[in-house]
Amino acid sequence: MNDNQLLRYSRHILLDDIGIEGQERLLAGHALVIGAGGLGSPAAFYLASAGIGRITLVDNDTVDLTNLQRQILHTTERVGRPKAESGRQTLAGINPEVEVIALAERVEGARLAELVSQAGVVLDCSDNFATRHAVNRACVQHRVPLVSGAAIRFDGQISVFDTRRDDAPCYACLFPPDQQFEEVLCSTMGVFAPLVGIIGTMQAAEALKLVAGIGESLAGKLLLLDARSMEWNSIRVGRSASCPVCGHAHGEQS
């Protein structure tokens, strides 16, 4: 690290758990952020400020006036612009040393698998089950840890799915793809603005821990937040041997 980097990241370097070696791992890290909206905004903010070397920011949507209540990457002047490009502009203002790859496209199939395979950690900041399951499948395939968050109304949740560990569940163990879950969208149900900030910031924290190799992740644990009472509940989540996504993969490794 050069002198400017030593100053910029000095409060990380002062932490025994991180230090210079941990910060250098962050500088060499690559995070894939799926979604530049309510969750992706605070997540990307903290990844960039903390010095993740490369962020690939994926979102095929454009900035809308209704986004600005909570999607803090964007500004009034950027209404109508692609969210990925708006996000890159904001992150460059925070930390110009971070390489931000802005992809204003909907990624799926082989393209999604390619992007996941190139990342050290994936943050799912999307808002629908189809995308979450697609991202999970790619992460299991390429053994890349996944930090998943969700928020609607006053309810938030976060977990880490790290199938590099043979005992760790994947997203499909918790939400089987063949089961029907009610799809609730903030465009129809609403969402408390700071809630996405809380969950998205925690996603950044989990991703930074994974890249720096510090602490214990949320793998095997689902945290649920009721922001009305500001109470957390923690649920233990085990791997399902019959999971159609990770069950076969784990079976091959044993």
- Which helix (H) or strand (E) element contains residue 12? helix 10-13
Instruction: Return d(Cα 132, Cα 126) in angstroms, integer.
Output: 7
Instruction: Return d(Cα 93, Cα 49) in angstroms, integer.
Output: 10
Six token digits for residue 114: 């390619």
Amino acid letter, 166:
D
Closest C-alpha among 74, 14, 1 to residue 38 = 74
Closest C-alpha among 56, 119, 122 to residue 84 = 56
Asked whether the beta carbons of 158 and 151 are under 8 A apart, the reply is no
The CA distances from residue 18 to 164, 165, 178, 212, in Å, are: 22, 22, 41, 7
The CA distances from residue 81 to 5, 22, 160, in Å, are: 32, 36, 31
The catalytic site residues sit at 186
